[in-house]
């Protein structure tokens, strides 16, 4: 049975507000977090989260991250190792093939462990949430060829430094990173009349990439997903003309693997003709054409509205109030694309703190798993079971194959099969067992051995204290008379905990 102090009547509006902020600006409360936010005050807590550099990272977390070599390596070193193993594997040596497979898997594992570890352990919770938001906005798929070796750097060097900064800087960083250039094939894009020549030292993919012609993949997603939105007022001709403006934006894998540049503009491959794009005549200007395009797109009113809608949908509700979206869009334009002031406006809005927003969002698999670990105060010592479960729930980290990234709406994630798997996960961690993903092909890339140490069972009373008013009277009543271990599983598997 839970103590009287943990009944719903013991909570007030400040408890609800603190819990709401912890759920939306982060991955949910850990034991004691609600009280800490109440002592600090909602406004001070929000502002502290908007200034993550002032929040020290725990030494244990820094040590864990430092123990993951892929997180410390330059993108060139990681790519060099990947290419070396792939060349050996291509010769038909079975041992080399197995080494290549293990290398690729190890890169995915370490990159995924780092993201999950930060989400669970970092006190800079909003920073981790914004990394999730922007990575999905500028999604690349780790399973596409060279992106296996490029994604860790993409998050570290192109996404993470800019999550609170200027959108134009973020847009430019993603546009020029080899992970995006490779994923959406812009590194292959050339003027239609480009004539390749084989130069000394040009081999493999770097040479083959010189005769591919115009590729519109990146130009299309740049406007449809990254900036203007599908209803942003552009035509198919604008896609083609933007693709022409971006020819020559590329990188050379072999050069990068030798410690060279992550981006280079190849003037030989650029289309130097006149362009008509979004109603403007674009004179030949080499790399300047693409830079001008990013400038225009970053500050376009359609981009402001598109980003405002996505932020409001992520942080408020699936169908955000149009008035809030409009205010955020106008704020974005007024501050010239600075992200932090837009977030301040969002978090200070009555819509964000409205009772109708509390519990209005259905947790994604990532949010569910991380929030369960945090609420239970469970150690993030072995994260392979959690990574396997994310795959089973349809959300492997860096595993979205399409450029639109993972959705964050209820319609995307609420289904009977997913609920059953979530409840199984809740039962496992509540009882102190390691959740095990089914061994069906690629669904379990990180299996847990039978001798993996079990954790301590989750304490239902501690869970109820941590989750406070988010656990409904009906759920609390259902706990009465149930065994303690079952109570914890019932809390983490309840409809209340599925929402935030």
For residue 332 the two structure tokens come to 């974005």
pLDDT at residue 225 tops 50 = yes
In SS3 terms, the chain reads as: CCCHHHCHHHCCHHHHHHHHHHHHHCCCCCCCHHHHHHHHCHHHHHHHHCCHHHCCCCHHHHHHHHCCHHHHCCHHHHHHHHHHHHHHHHCCCHHHHHHHHHHHHHHHHHHHHHHHHHHHHCCCHHHHHHHHHHHHHCCCCCCCCCHHHHHHHHHHHHHHHHCCCEHHHHHHHHHHCHHHHHHCCHHHCCCCCCCCCCCCCCCHHHHHHHHCCCCCHHHHHHHHHHCCCCCCCCCHHHHHHHHHHCCCEECCHHHHHCCCCCCEECHHHCCCCCEEECCEEECCCCHHHHHHHHHHHHCCHHHHHHHHHHHHHHHCCCCCCHHHHHHHHHHHHHCCCEHHHHHHHHHCCCCCCCHHHCCCCECCHHHHHHHHHHHCCCCCCCCHHHHHHHHHCCCCCCCCCCCCCCCCCHHHHCCHHHHHHHHHHHHHHHCCCCCCCCCCHHHCCCCCCCCCCCCCCCCHHHHHHHHHHHCCHHHHHHHCCCCHHHHHHHHHCCHHHHEC
Look at 100 and 290; give whichever has higher pLDDT. Answer: 290
Map tokens 């497979």 to a residue.
101
Q: What angle do CA 41, 45, 47 make, to 5 degrees?
A: 120
Residue 435: per-residue pLDDT: 72
pLDDT for 206: 47
Question: Region 202-220: what's the mean pLDDT?
Answer: 69
What is the average per-residue pLDDT within 284-303? 98
Q: What is the pTM of this model?
A: 0.93
Encoding tokens for residue 174? 């993603």
Looking at residue 93, what is its pLDDT? 77
Q: What average pLDDT does range 219-227 have in this prediction?
A: 98
Give residue 207's pLDDT: 41
**Residue 74 clears pLDDT 60, i.e. is over it:** yes
- Judged by average pLDDT, the poorest of 110-119, 375-384, 429-438 is 429-438
Q: Are 250 and 220 in contact (CB under 8 A)?
A: no
pLDDT digits 0-9 by tens, 139-179 = 999 999 999 999 999 999 999 999 999 999 999 999 999 99
Angle between helices 384-392 and 94-121 (to 10 degrees): 100
The reported pLDDT for the residue numbered 456 is 73
- Is the pLDDT confidence value at 135 over 70? yes
What is the C-alpha separation between 314 and 130, in angstroms, rounded?
Answer: 10
Question: Which tens digit of pLDDT belongs to each residue from 464-476?
Answer: 999 999 999 999 9
Which residues, including other chains, have CB under 8 Å from residue 156's CB and lie 6 or more apart? 71
Residue 436: predicted pLDDT: 62
- Res 32: pLDDT: 97
- What is the pLDDT at residue 79? 96
Give the pLDDT score at 211.
Answer: 55
* Mean confidence (pLDDT) of the chain: 91
Q: Write out the two tokens for 350.
A: 């009555």
Q: What is the pLDDT of residue 191?
A: 95
Nearest to 328 by CA among 318, 315, 18: 315
Biggest CA pair distance of the chain: 79
**Residue positions counted in the chain:** 500
Q: By the 8 A CB rule, do 175 and 162 touch?
A: no
Each residue's pLDDT tens digit, 5-36: 345 556 788 999 999 999 999 999 999 999 99
> Which of the four pLDDT bands, split at 50, 70 and 90, describes residue 200?
very low
Q: Give the model's confidence band at 198: pLDDT under 50 very low, under 70 low, under 90 confident, else very high.
A: low
Q: Provide the pLDDT for residue 455.
A: 64
Q: What pLDDT, in 10s, does the model give residues 347-360?
A: 999 999 999 999 99
For residue 444, the model assigns a pLDDT of 41
Structural contact between residues 320 and 351, judged by C-beta atoms closer than 8 angstroms = yes
pLDDT tens column, 36-73 = 999 999 999 999 999 999 999 999 999 999 999 999 99
Mean pLDDT is lowest, of 147-156, 189-198, 248-257, for 189-198
């Amino acid at each position: 049975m839970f103590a009287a102090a943990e009944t719903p009547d013991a909570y007030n509006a400040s408890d609800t507000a603190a819990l709401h902020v912890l759920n939306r600006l982060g991955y949910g409360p850990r034991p004691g977090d609600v009280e800490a936010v109440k002592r600090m005050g909602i406004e001070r807590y929000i502002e502290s989260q908007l200034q993550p550099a002032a929040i020290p990272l725990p030494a244990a977390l820094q040590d864990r991250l430092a123990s993951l070599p892929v997180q410390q390596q330059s993108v060139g070193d990681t790519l060099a190792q990947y290419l070396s193993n792939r060349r050996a594997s291509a010769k038909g040596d079975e041992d080399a093939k197995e080494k290549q497979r293990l290398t690729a898997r190890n890169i995915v594992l370490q990159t995924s462990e780092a993201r999950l570890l930060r989400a669970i352990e970092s006190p800079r919770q909003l920073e981790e949430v914004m990394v999730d938001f922007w990575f999905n906005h500028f999604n690349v798929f780790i399973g596409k060829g060279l992106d296996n070796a490029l994604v860790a750097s993409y998050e570290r060097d192109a996404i993470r430094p800019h999550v609170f900064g200027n959108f134009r800087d973020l847009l430019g960083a993603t546009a020029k990173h080899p992970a995006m250039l490779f994923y959406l094939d812009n590194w292959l894009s050339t003027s239609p009349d480009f004539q390749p020549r084989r130069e000394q030292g040009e081999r493999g993919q770097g040479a083959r990439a010189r005769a591919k012609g115009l590729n519109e993949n990146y130009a299309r997603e740049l406007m449809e997903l990254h900036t203007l939105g599908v209803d942003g007022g552009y035509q198919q001709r604008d896609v083609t003309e933007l693709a022409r403006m971006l020819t020559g934006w590329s990188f050379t894998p072999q050069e990068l693997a030798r410690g060279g540049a992550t981006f280079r503009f190849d003037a030989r491959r650029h289309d130097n003709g006149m362009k008509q794009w979004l109603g403007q005549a674009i004179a030949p200007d080499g790399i300047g054409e693409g830079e001008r395009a990013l400038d225009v797109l970053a500050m376009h009113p359609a981009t402001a509205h598109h980003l405002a809608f996505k932020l409001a949908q992520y942080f408020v509700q699936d169908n955000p109030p149009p008035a809030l979206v409009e205010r955020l869009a106008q704020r974005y334009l007024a501050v010239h694309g600075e992200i932090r002031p837009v977030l301040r406006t969002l978090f200070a809005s009555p819509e964000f703190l409205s009772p109708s927003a509390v519990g209005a969002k259905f947790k994604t698999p990532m949010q569910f798993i991380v929030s369960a670990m945090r609420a239970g105060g469970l150690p993030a010592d072995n994260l392979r079971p959690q990574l396997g479960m994310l795959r089973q729930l349809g959300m492997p980290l860096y595993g979205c194959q399409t450029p639109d990234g993972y959705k964050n709406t209820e319609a995307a994630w609420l289904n009977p099969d997913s609920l059953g798997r979530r409840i199984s996960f809740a039962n496992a961690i509540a009882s102190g067992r390691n959740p095990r993903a089914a061994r069906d092909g690629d669904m379990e890339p990180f299996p847990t051995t039978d001798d993996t140490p079990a954790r301590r069972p989750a304490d239902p009373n501690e869970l109820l204290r941590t989750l406070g008013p988010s656990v409904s009277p009906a759920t609390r009543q259902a706990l009465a008379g149930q065994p303690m271990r079952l109570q914890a599983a019932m809390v983490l598997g309840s409809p209340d905990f599925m929402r935030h």
